[in-house]
Structure 1
Amino acid sequence: MKKNPAPQEANITEPRLYKVVSSRIQELIREENIGAGERLPPERELASKLSVSRTSLREGLIALELGGIVEVRGGSGVYVCEQTSQEVPAEPVGPGPFEVLSARRLIESEIAAIAAKMATDSAIDAILRTVVEMENNHDNRNSNEMADRNFHLAIARATGNSALEGVVEYLWNQRGTLWHKLKEHFQTEELRKQTLIDHRNILEAIASHNAVAARQAMRAHLDRVTRTFSRG
C-alpha cells in the first residue's frame, strides 16, 4: 500500500512581513540608484510600486531606520542614509505594530463589553484611578504610558477572568522597538489628547454597565490610534 507523504512542518523561521518589505525597499533603492541623501518616493507611491499596504510599508521603513539605512523626517519624507549595505537589525520574533493593534481591536473591544457587564464598584474605581493618573501625567511620557497600560489591564481585570488579563498584558508586551519608533514619529498631540477623551468614554460606558457602548468606545479608540499611525 502506498503511504501518504508526511505532512510538511510549518516554516517557523519564515521572516516577519516587515523584514520582507524592508528587503524590497532596499532592492528598490539599489535598482533605482537612489543615493545617500536622496529622498525616496512618497509613501503612497512607494506602496503602489511594491504592491504592499501603507501600514506594511511604514513598518518596513521604520525597521530600515532602526538599521541606519534610511532616515524618516516628519513632514519631509524618507531619505537614504550614507550606508545602504547594512542589514535590518534583529528583532525578537513577534507581530508588527499594526498586527498588534488589529488584535487589540478585536480582543479588547470584547473585553470592554464583558467588563461593562461584570465590573464591581471597586473595579470601576480602579479603572478611574488609571484615567486620573494618565491625565495628571499628560506631560510625563513614561508615567503617561504606564498609566495607559494600567488602564487597559484594569479593564481586563474587571471581567473577573485572569486569562483575559493575561492576554491584554501579552499584547501590550508585544510592543517592541518598531512600535516605539513608529509612535515617536507619528503620534500627535491631538491623538494624545483624544486618547484621554476616549478613555473617559470607555470608563463611562463600563460604569453605566452598557456593554454595547463599551465595545464601541474601545473599538473607536484603537481605530483612531491605527489611523493616526498609518497616515502621513
Structure 2
Amino acid sequence: MSKPTPVSVDFAVPADARLYRVVAGQIQQMIQDEKILPGTRLPSERDLSARLDVSRASVREALIALELTGVIEVRGGSGIYVNDRNSAPADINGAGCGPFEVLSARRLIEGEVAAMAAKLATDSAVDAIMQTVADMERHGEDQVKSDAADRAFHMAIAKATGNSALVLVLTNLWDERGHLWSKMEEHFHTAELRQQTLVDHRRIVEAIAARDAAGARRAMRAHLERVMREFSRGWGVKGASRAAGNESDWQV
C-alpha cells in the first residue's frame, strides 16, 4: 500500500513556530479547503499523521490546541468532530511547548538530575524529597494540592544536586506545562494514574536515598516514559477497556 501524498497547504506560519501550531494550521486549512461542515467527524489521528507527514504525537498536540480554541470537539468513545467555530484562524498563541516536547526534554534532563541527586544529596535534602511524597499521598483527592506536591517533588530532586542552574532549567520546563498540558491531563489522567505516579515517586526517592545513581536514573526515566504512554493512548479509553483491546482505529 503506497504512502498517502502529504497535504499541501498555504497556511502561513512564522519560521520559528512550534510544530504543533504548524500542524494545527494545516488541519484547520484542510477543514476550510475541503469544506468540512460542523458536526462532521475528522479522519483518525493515524490518517491525519500519514496525510500531513508528521508524527502522531504532533497531530495529537495539534488537535488538543484546536480543541482549546473551539475549532474541534473531542467526543470520548466517538471521535473528533468539526465545531462551528472554524471561520477564523485558530489563536493558540501562548499555549506553550507541546506536552510531548516537554516530556521528552524532561526524560533526558531529569534522569540525569536524579542520578546526580543520588550521588550528592545530603540527608536533609533526601528528607525534603520524602516530604513531598508524603504531601502528594496526603492530598491524593485534591488535584490542585497533589499537582503542587508533584512539582515540589521534582524540584526538590533538582535542589538536592546543589546546582542552581539545574533548578532553573527544571523550573522553566515545568512552567511550560500550560493550557495544552492541562487539556491533555483532562483527557487522559485519572485517579488511578495519579496513584501510579505516587508509586513511581517512591521508587525514585528510594533509589536516591540508597545512593543508587543508576537506579534513580532508570526510575525517573521509567516514570516519565509512563506519562508519555498515558498521553499517547486512545481518546476516552480507560485502562480496563483498553486492556481488553476495545480501541477503534481513530483512537490510537
Q: Same fold (TM over 0.5)?
A: yes
What is the CA–CA distance in structure 1 between the aligned matches of 2:96 and 2:29, rounded to whole Å?
24
2:192 aligned to 180, 190, 193, which one? Answer: 190
Q: Out of 178-187 and 143-152, give the one that drifted further.
A: 178-187
Q: Which residue of 2 aligns with 1:106?
A: 108
2:30 aligned to 19, 28, 31, which one? Answer: 28
1:37 aligned to 33, 36, 39, which one? Answer: 39
Equivalences for residues 155-170 of structure 1 within 5 A: 155-170=157-172
Long gaps (5+) in structure 1: 1-10
What is the CA–CA distance in structure 2 between the aligned matches of 1:74 and 1:193, rounded to whole Å?
23
Task: Tell me by how many angstroms 1:155 deviates.
Answer: 0.3
Structure 1 residue 224 and structure 2 residue 226: aligned? Answer: yes
**AA paired with 1:210?**
D
Q: Which residue of 2 aligns with 1:8?
A: none
What is the CA–CA distance in structure 2 between the aligned matches of 1:51 and 1:128, rounded to whole Å?
45
Query: Are residues 12 and 23 of structure 1, via their aligned partners in 2, closer, same or farther at CA, if it must alter by over 3 Å?
Result: closer
Percent identity of paired positions between Structure 1 and Structure 2: 59
Equivalences for residues 21-170 of structure 1 within 5 A: 21-92=23-94, 94-170=96-172
What is the CA–CA distance in structure 1 between the aligned matches of 2:37 and 2:190, rounded to whole Å?
31
Deviations, residues 100-152 of structure 1 (Å, cap 9, x unaligned): 11110000000000000011111111001100100111111100000000000
Task: Tell me by how many angstroms 1:12 deviates.
Answer: 7.6
**AA paired with 1:40?**
L
Q: Out of 42-51 and 219-228, give the one that drifted further.
A: 42-51
User: How does the TM-score come out when normalised to structure 2?
Assistant: 0.84
**AA paired with 1:136?**
R
Query: Are residues 196 and 18 of structure 1, via their aligned partners in 2, closer, same or farther at CA, if it must alter by over 3 Å?
Result: same
Task: Tell me by how many angstroms 1:83 deviates.
Answer: 2.2
Q: What secondary structure does 1:79 align onto?
A: strand
Q: Which residue of 2 aligns with 1:6?
A: none
What is the CA–CA distance in structure 2 between the aligned matches of 1:93 and 1:197, rounded to whole Å?
30
Task: Tell me by how many angstroms 1:177 deviates.
Answer: 1.0
What is the CA–CA distance in structure 2 between the aligned matches of 1:84 and 1:92, rounded to whole Å?
19
What is the CA–CA distance in structure 1 between the aligned matches of 2:130 and 2:200, rounded to whole Å?
13
What is the CA–CA distance in structure 1 between the aligned matches of 2:86 and 2:105, rounded to whole Å?
33
Count residues in correspondence.
222
Q: Out of 147-156 and 70-79, give the one that drifted further.
A: 70-79
**AA paired with 1:75?**
G
**Does the Cα contact within 8 Å between 1:39 and 1:78 map onto a contact in 2?**
yes
What is the CA–CA distance in structure 2 between the aligned matches of 1:109 and 1:227, rounded to whole Å?
17
Query: Are residues 218 and 21 of structure 1, via their aligned partners in 2, closer, same or farther at CA, if it must alter by over 3 Å?
Result: same
What is the CA–CA distance in structure 2 between the aligned matches of 1:87 and 1:172, rounded to whole Å?
28
Q: What secondary structure does 1:65 align onto?
A: helix
**Does the Cα contact within 8 Å between 1:112 and 1:155 map onto a contact in 2?**
yes
User: How does the TM-score come out when normalised to structure 1?
Assistant: 0.91
Q: What secondary structure does 2:77 align onto?
A: coil
What is the CA–CA distance in structure 1 between the aligned matches of 2:191 and 2:27, rounded to whole Å?
30
Task: Tell me by how many angstroms 1:188 deviates.
Answer: 2.9
1:15 aligned to 17, 22, 36, which one? Answer: 17
What's the C-alpha RMSD, in Å, of the aligned pairs? 1.7
Q: What secondary structure does 1:92 align onto?
A: coil
**Does the Cα contact within 8 Å between 1:67 and 1:87 map onto a contact in 2?**
no
**Does the Cα contact within 8 Å between 2:64 and 2:180 map onto a contact in 1?**
yes
What is the CA–CA distance in structure 2 between the aligned matches of 1:34 and 1:189, rounded to whole Å?
37
